[in-house]
Structure 1
Amino acid sequence: MYPLKFKPIVKDKIWGGSKLEKLYGKKPDGLPNIGESWELSGYPNDVSVVSNGYLAGKTLQELLDTYKEQLVGKRVYSRFGNSFPLLFKLIHAEDNLSIQVHPDDKTALKRHNTLGKTEMWYVLHAEPKAELIIGFNKNYSKKAYLKALEEDKVEELLRHVPVEPGDCFFIPAGLVHAIGKGIVLAEIQESSDATYRIYDYKRKDVEGNERELHTELALSVINFKASKYPKTEYTPVLNEFVPLVKCEYFTTELLDFNNKVTLPYNLTETFVVYMCLEGNFEISGGTSITHVKKGETIMLPAGMKYPTLIPDGRAKVLEVFID
């Protein structure tokens, strides 16, 4: 097999805008407000389709059904079988997203027969004064939380975090959060769309209706304790993989490089995904050379041996795998 590219799946969102097209060339397909581009997805009804090489036109699910552990690796296949476990997105918030929370695996399986949703964010662009909402600013009771919801004051209970490009955040299931307006980020998450919306600024959809809230469903999954400082601290080092997030669902590292980098492993246990944040690069492995440009996401199947990344001048990528 060879490095796989996929056709982006763009999503129209009430809070979306045009920056994913302007910054990364994501075509809106006639949709007015692109909020998300699903770069790599095995999620039902939104499965990615290969766009390069002899497998072009095949879906990720078809590849997984055919190639199994050769595609995702022995360890990953033994754990997840024919289900692709992660979802990779680019997100543009022209307006504030709803304040929300996600269930963990146990709750999501019981309620929705799906995975839970633990995720991480890497900020790519932020307007002045842009901020994220991440967790509570101190410990609260359910009673105090419900009172604040009723009085439209829930924002006062939450931690508001100013952001700039390069900031990284880990968002486990149960942590209340929201992406604020003026932010573009990369999101890596479990393959799930289990979301409980708890506050939406009384925003109305195109038909004039306020969007549904999930107050009761959210109550049993929210972590009401004050969040620890949510930002992932790291020191960038040129031409070295820098750890960002390591959890049971995924491991993410940052590579900022201007020299050729040969990966020091033979992929057998897991696939590897690269999200190109800045610049362009190419991957050589076996007899193939694949060019990757800013804003593209590429998957290295588990069967690849000692691939090499070669930047066009300088490039920056997120490397993601399952440890």
Structure 2
Amino acid sequence: MKEKVGRALKAYPIQFQPEMKERVWGGRALEKFGFQLPEGVIGEGWMIGDHPNGTTKALNGEFAGLGLDEIREQHGSTLFGTKGFSAKTGRFPLLIKLLDCEDDLSVQVHPNDHYEHLAVGELGKTEMWYILDAKPGAKIIYGMKEGVTRDSLAQAIAENRIMDCLEEVEVKAGDSFYIPAGTVHALGAGVLVAEIQQNSDTTYRLYDYNRPGLDGKLRELHIEDSLNVIAYEGSGSTRMTTDMKDAGTWLTLAESPFFTVEKGLVGPKWELSTTLESFTILVVAEGTGKLTWADGDLALKPGDCFLLPANLGSYALEGSMTVIRSYLP
């Protein structure tokens, strides 16, 4: 489909209908954000997605009813910015999710863009997590213990003692984790997470607690692929607590070749602007307020995710909120 030409397109913040995904480890906590969930245990809300396994449709404004893929095809170079496409797939380069972990996720690892066994048209997966909420004592798996090698990990897997090789970390709301491709990781029960990642749906499972999936059968493991893509000498993963006191400043949570993610405190009004190089994605983590731009305004509440086009220009955030901002570096 060719991009449309003609009258000038008025940019505005676009909100999408989430694609809800049932997962064996999911729950119903995403209802707290006001989402209407389908039946079942819902683990993932794909909030902004342009992937064969989940493409979100716009809810508001001129693009209402159009998928992100259709918006990309019609107006992508204008709205997404000069950097706003995956060089490999041509698609929107990021996937934004909210995750409800009622149970432990599988122990897993993701490949990079160059892994030879990637599915055709699929990217690698570097991602980051911002912990929106966590029950007392909630933990995640984040990396491996020092000195673990491919051979020692393979032996531990064969002997059903992989957990001996992994690092567990207790988490609380406001913690942030950068997870480059090659990092062994798993979210634990009792956490609610905002995830910013490459536009990929490739996951290699190392261990799944010998539990049945939604179909009653054990889920597939991907031991050889996992052993191939793990970064045994370190992936460059970083973690941080993100306590902030001053409104109107950005704290960098993650910087990668694929995205920059920052946390900001809003109050009472913050004047901002997009650039023509990249779209901006805003996720409201806490609080309420308003997003205003030249042609309108929108009320904001926790769980809201907006795509701000690169050509939006000046906008403002008002109220008392914590927001997560993502854009292309």
* Counterpart for residue 102 of structure 2: 94
Query: What CA distance in whole angstroms lies between the structure 2 residues aligned with 1:77 and 1:227?
Result: 25
Cα deviation code 1:46-82 (max 9, x no counterpart): 1110001121101111111111221100132484684
Query: What CA distance in whole angstroms lies between the structure 2 residues aligned with 1:129 and 1:298?
Result: 31
2:148 counterpart of 1:140: yes
Deviates more, 1:184-193 or 1:239-248: 239-248
The 5 Å alignment of 1:185-204 reads 185-204=193-212
* Counterpart for residue 295 of structure 1: 303
* Counterpart for residue 28 of structure 2: 18
Unaligned runs of at least 5 residues, structure 2 = 1-10
Q: Closer, same or farther in 2 for the Cα pair 1:245/1:218, shift >3 Å? A: same
Post-superposition, which runs of at least 4 consecutive aligned residues in structure 1 deviate over 2 A? 75-82, 108-113, 205-208, 224-230, 232-235
Q: Closer, same or farther in 2 for the Cα pair 1:178/1:126, shift >3 Å? A: same
Match of 1:148, SS state, is helix
TM-score by length of 2: 0.92
The 5 Å alignment of 1:54-69 reads 54-69=62-77
Cα deviation code 1:71-115 (max 9, x no counterpart): 100132484684100000010111100000000011167544311
Deviates more, 1:165-174 or 1:223-232: 223-232
TM-score by length of 1: 0.93
Query: What CA distance in whole angstroms lies between the structure 1 residues aligned with 2:84 and 2:181?
Result: 21
8 Å contact from structure 1 (residues 139, 226) kept in 2: no
Q: Shift in Å at residue 227 of structure 1?
A: 7.2
Unaligned runs of at least 5 residues, structure 1 = none
Q: Closer, same or farther in 2 for the Cα pair 1:204/1:302, shift >3 Å? A: same
The 5 Å alignment of 1:30-179 reads 30=39, 32-77=40-85, 79=87, 82-107=90-115, 110-179=118-187
2:323 counterpart of 1:317: yes
* Counterpart for residue 272 of structure 1: 280
Query: What CA distance in whole angstroms lies between the structure 2 residues aligned with 1:16 and 1:93?
Result: 5
The 5 Å alignment of 1:219-230 reads 219-225=227-233, 230=238
8 Å contact from structure 1 (residues 93, 179) kept in 2: yes
Deviates more, 1:61-70 or 1:104-113: 104-113
8 Å contact from structure 2 (residues 126, 198) kept in 1: yes
Match of 1:76, SS state, is coil
Counterpart among 243, 262, 274 of residue 252 in structure 2: 243
8 Å contact from structure 1 (residues 131, 180) kept in 2: yes
Q: Closer, same or farther in 2 for the Cα pair 1:77/1:127, shift >3 Å? A: closer
Give identity over the alignment, percent: 35
Match of 1:96, SS state, is coil
Q: Shift in Å at residue 156 of structure 1?
A: 1.1
* Counterpart for residue 3 of structure 2: none
